[in-house]
Chains A and B, each alone.
Chain A
Amino acid sequence: MKVIDVILINTFIFALPIVLSTLGGLIAYKLNIVNIGLEGFMLLGGLFSGLGVYYTKSYVVGLLICLIFSGLIGLIYAFFAIKLKSNFIITGFAINVIAGALSAYILITMDRKDLDLNVVNAENLKLVFSGTENIPILNGLINSHSPMFFITIIIFILLVVIFNSTRFGTYIKVIGENEKAARAQGIKVDLIKYLALILSALIVGLGGFAIAVEQIKLFTPDIIAGTGFIAIAAFYCGNGKPSSSLLYALLFGLAKALAFTLAFNMPQVEGILKIVPYVAIVIVLTVTAIIKRRKSLMRGVYQDE
């Protein structure tokens, strides 16, 4: 039973950034903007939270700095996508490249290879409900969670509420579905888009925080390692619905956790096991595409639905 606990705990650890990135990316996806820059948003979130934590040695200050800069990056991205009508796929890609570049450059300027973020000792912040440590599975489910775990749950609930019962959420859906209709109804389309993209960036930035400060406790330019793209796969598979996207994100987290746990027990093939999550996601994408493939009888139409 120990193994299951370990896998469960690891699943949550690995899934947390994926979930955050998925939820953030999903807001943009609802606007019909596939933000390929999630990877970069996360890395920059990690970078600024890393810098914040490293210099102030405070979890909270690191979190605040992360939020401020993530919002700023979201604003820049929104400015390009909305005001300059850029090709947002290329803009997103540019953010990925800039994020990597900036991280490497700043580390070199500081004359370091990485930033040690264990200074805030995130392990101590983990919650354990006394008396439940010895109950199998339950232990894995509810214990040893970082503050970000609970923040994520709150964010998820908030998003569901926003999309289901607020004007803001309704407008986001309407704009994504039919921007012209939204404009015809007098909805302030650009304002909603700006707000939504900034909100999206904030949440994705938290994903970077989760990886850098809580999961790896170290900042290097390659800590994200495809998490952003995994998130894109998650909301693609989940059709942009918060709950099913969340499930896919958890599933991908599980794949990572399994690979990690296996690698821990079989160090000789550790390297090759790392590809398991990526390959698994490509397979899941393929399978969902087969299931989703609507029986459209038209030929020659190749736009994403």
Chain B
Amino acid sequence: MSQTSPDVLSQRFELGFTYTRSTGPVVGHFLTALKNKQLVGNRGSDGRVYVPPAEYDPVTAEALQDYVELGDTGIVQSWVWVNEPRAKHLMDKPFAFAQVVIDGADVPMLHMVDAGSESAMSTGMPVKLRWAETTRGHITDIACFEPV
């Protein structure tokens, strides 16, 4: 019989992985502190402070525990401006993803900066953490950072 190509059949669908993850002690310690609106890091083998805390030293693989309580301000080390947020992004207006070095920490953490416009962003700018309205022990307890 004839081999005319039929119309392409397609179907939109959503795939969900509804997992609950065990945090382990280090991530659990960090998330518990977030719930209490406190930022916690830890010290690596070389004395550098990681926030969020690292479970194991990325270089020596040593288990890390030496926790350090940190404030809620930091400096933007690198950043991109997301002018058109993707469907999955948590902000529905232009925002920055940024590597933020929290004051007192050495290793930057990745989060969002709500700066309004790209012109308000610059490398080295000071930022302050904005907490979510309710905190529950989740990385999104940090709503974002904002320019100081």
Bound together: no
Instruction: Report which A residues bind B (CB closer than 8 A).
Output: none
Instruction: Report which B residues bind A (CB closer than 8 A).
Output: none
